[in-house]
A and B are shown apart, each in its own frame.
Chain A
Amino acid sequence: MNEYSKKIVKVPTVNLFREQDKDKQPVLDVRNLGIDFGGLTAVDGFNITVGPTEISGLIGPNGAGKTTIFNLLTGVYQPTRGSVLINGVDIKGMPTHKVNRLGIARTFQNIRLFTDMTALDNVKVGMHHDIKCSFLGSLLHLPSYYKAEKKANEKAMELLDFMGLADVADVKAGSLPYGVQRRLEIVRALATDPSIILLDEPAAGMNPSETTELMHQIRRIRDTFHIAIFLIEHDMNLVMNVCEAIAVVNYGRLIAKGTPEEIRANPAVIEAYLGKEEGSADAEN
């Protein structure tokens, strides 16, 4: 492990901010994050900052701790060490739904939509905090209910339309095709009005043309909503094309961070993915 931490120092880029994000407060600021499960250290010494309009990626071999990091960032797990700051606020000890309200939303590696609800209702669940109508008002169908409902429906439809899902608004989420479900999950996350959105393997199970489409959509989300995107992905084509900054983890530790070009040339990354020189003979057998 120490071997890896020495290598971090060698990585040239420390500040991953895009030009436009320089001197701005990072939307996500992670300091020395670590978590132990019993005796097992799943993540340790993880540092990263993400600028307000940056698209960045988190890559690493299977079991490197990428999803664990996402769970730490969204308050699903409480870290053993270190801190996570979202828009400058420490999430320590906060319940998950409050962490979401600080401006972080996510999708899941294995899609977790509310399958029995329509696509529209899924989006409206994401807008839960935003729909202002009293309990009594909605029960008695007071004018305030219709007003709030109308506004919510309009916004939800707008978001669905943005990802090209307007025509499936009334279809139950569970019966939608796989690729559409992935996109719906992104819409639902957007509905929570985040300042950063975490995508956990958004291209998993997509064919090449769907992946290309997804790349355009990821850029369009950033350019339209002016939010940061942080994604886990195994599709290197997507990562290298879309991400402006990449962090690499292995065995729960950050082994490199930098621009796609820097990452591609980084020996530690190549080693993590392909094994050491001595080990390459084994791989060939």
Chain B
Amino acid sequence: MQILQYLINGISIGSVYAIIALGYTMVYGIAKMLNFAHGDIIMVGAYISFCVTSYLGLPAWVSVVAAVAVCTVLGIVIEGLAYKPLRGTPSLAVLITAIGVSYFLQNAAQLIWSSSPKNFTSVVTMKPISLAGGKIVVTGEVLLTVAACILVMVGLTLFTSKTRTGKAMRAVSEDRDAAQLMGINVNQTISTTFAIGSALAAVAGVLLCSTVPTLQPTTGSMPGIRAFTAAVFGGIGSIPGAMLGGILLGIIETFSKAYLSTQFSDAIVFSVLIVILLVKPAGLLGKQIQEKV
């Protein structure tokens, strides 16, 4: 029974990674850059939610809406100020800028909210469900997280395959220049992608801090790196890949903490990643690109 409980916990934390990884993977797919500040947007989202509930005393759902709104705008502003001027420059310049933005956000958060950890109150008020005579406990957070993850996944898939903007995104992701020559505004498309990715990060931030209630300026960085790993693991650029990678990563992490070692859980997670990448360099669902000779 214990193993089932670990599995549920793993899927839950994995769902959070999956939502973050979706943001990474979308931005990578369309803007062709690794936005290392993505993890810190999670932290900002969590802080906004915290402020709205704790300082303004508003209901939890309002705090989620506020977090999503602020992060969406933040994502668009960061892209416009920091990344857009670097369009067309070597990708290394953009990568370094992203790391800079990441530190900027962490330090700004430290200035505003101080470095002392805040106690985040869960946005879920539902009582945990006990199964199998109390041996398995499914908390409201777990249910909400998994539901949110499925909803986001289905929504994004429909969005990219059905809508006009989604099709434009796929076109830009495949061939930016050709898309531009077909009358697609590439800057606007990239901006929309950042907006969506950052909105997802806000949701992930609230879910993450509802499960692990300590909130500090560095809260987003480790989950951000794990989610990046998940995106690569599943095949970066692929939406189902990010989802699969995130959940698998969550499960592996929980199991290694439970059965092997709490301290080495990260080492184990990353070792699994290395092995997978050695066998399948494009990731689990990534497309192997055959170079024409």
Listed in ascending order, the chain A residues whose CB lies under 8 Å from chain B are 74, 76, 95-97, 100-101, 105-106, 108, 112-117, 121, 124-126, 128-129, 131, 133, 135, 138-139, 148, 188-189, 191-192
Contact = CB atoms under 8 A, between A and B. Distances in A.
Nearest to B161: A121
A271 B177 CA distance: 36
A100 B174 contact: no
A112 B178 contact: yes
Interface stretch (B65-73, B126-134, B164-172, B221-229): B164-172
B179 interface: yes
Contacts, number: 79
A95 B187 CA distance: 10
Given A114-B175, A135-B165, A129 B183 contact: yes
Contacts of B165: 135, 138
B163 A125 contact: no
Most buried by B among A106, A114, A129, A191: A114
A76 B177 CA distance: 8
A121 B163 CA distance: 11
B142 interface: no
A149 to B, nearest CB: 8
B159 A100 contact: no
A97 B175 contact: no
Contact of B182 (A76, A95, A105, A131): A105
A74 to B, nearest CB: 6
B135 interface: no
Most buried by A among B165, B183, B185, B187: B183
B184 interface: yes
Given A117-B171, A138-B163, A125 B179 contact: yes
B167 A121 contact: yes
A102 to B, nearest CB: 10
Contacts of B164: 124, 128, 131, 133, 138, 148
Contacts of B168: 125, 128
For the complex of A and B, the 3 pairs showing the least CB-CB separation, nearest first, are: A100-B183, A138-B163, A96-B180
Decide if the interface of chain B is mainly helix, strand, loop or mixed. Answer: helix
B181 A100 contact: yes
Interface string B170-204: 11001101111111111100000000000000000
A97 B183 contact: yes
Contacts of A97: 180-186
B88 to A, nearest CB: 12
Given A76-B177, A116-B170, A121-B167, A126 B182 contact: yes
B162 A138 contact: yes
Contacts of A191: 182
8 contacts: A76-B177, A96-B177, A100-B182, A114-B179, A124-B167, A125-B167, A125-B168, A128-B167
Contact of B174 (A101, A108, A117, A188): A117
Contacts of A101: 183
Given A139-B155, A189-B182, 8 more contacts: A97-B180, A97-B181, A100-B180, A113-B178, A116-B174, A125-B179, A126-B182, A135-B163
Most buried by A among B164, B171, B179: B164
Contacts of A133: 164
Nearest to B163: A138
Contacts of A128: 164, 167-168, 171, 182-184
Contact of B167 (A100, A115, A117, A189): A117
